[in-house]
Amino acid sequence: MYSFMSGIDDIIISEKKLCTFYGLRREVFIMMVLITYDVNTTEDEGGKRLRNVAKICVNYGQRVQNSVFECNLTPAMYIDIKNKLSKIIKHDKDSLRFYLLGKNWENRVELIGKNNNYHPTKDSLII
């Protein structure tokens, strides 16, 4: 298991994967992150913020419920999405939560009810 420091956060990296970046093949550390958000939509700008947060999350992972996304991220992607989302929300009215599920995330997730048959590490996600 590996750890990665990003400012205040101590991130536990769950696994290594072989990926191609800019034509170079190298190992990349991947972690499962659950992102949840609550955006206040009682004001006019709230709906726009809500849509913008959802658009960014869709680019990084799979929506599993309203306002909940499962994302397989590298440490750099994690920092990137946190920064992007933090710039969109109003910190006094909205909230973001990032759950770092760690190495055995599959053992920590239990599903009851509708299953969209998407597996974040075994299935391909086309963006």
pLDDT at 113: 81
pLDDT at 110: 79
> Which domain does 62 fall in, by range?
2-108
- What is the model's pTM? 0.72
Kindly report the CATH number assigned to the domain that includes residue 99.
3.30.70.240
Torsion angles phi and psi, residue 30, rounded to 5: -120, 140
Domain-embedded: residue 123 = no
Of the listed ranges 15-19, 30-34, 46-50, 86-90, the one predicted with least confidence: 15-19
pLDDT at 101: 85
The answer to whether 84 and 22 have CB atoms below 8 angstroms apart is no
pLDDT at 8: 33
The answer to whether 93 and 53 have CB atoms below 8 angstroms apart is no
How far apart are the C-alpha atoms of 13 and 30, rounded to whole Å? 6
Domain-embedded: residue 23 = yes
User: What does the pLDDT look like over 62-102, one tens digit per residue?
Assistant: 999 999 999 988 888 999 999 999 999 999 999 999 999 86
Domain-embedded: residue 113 = no
Number of structural domains (the chain) is 1
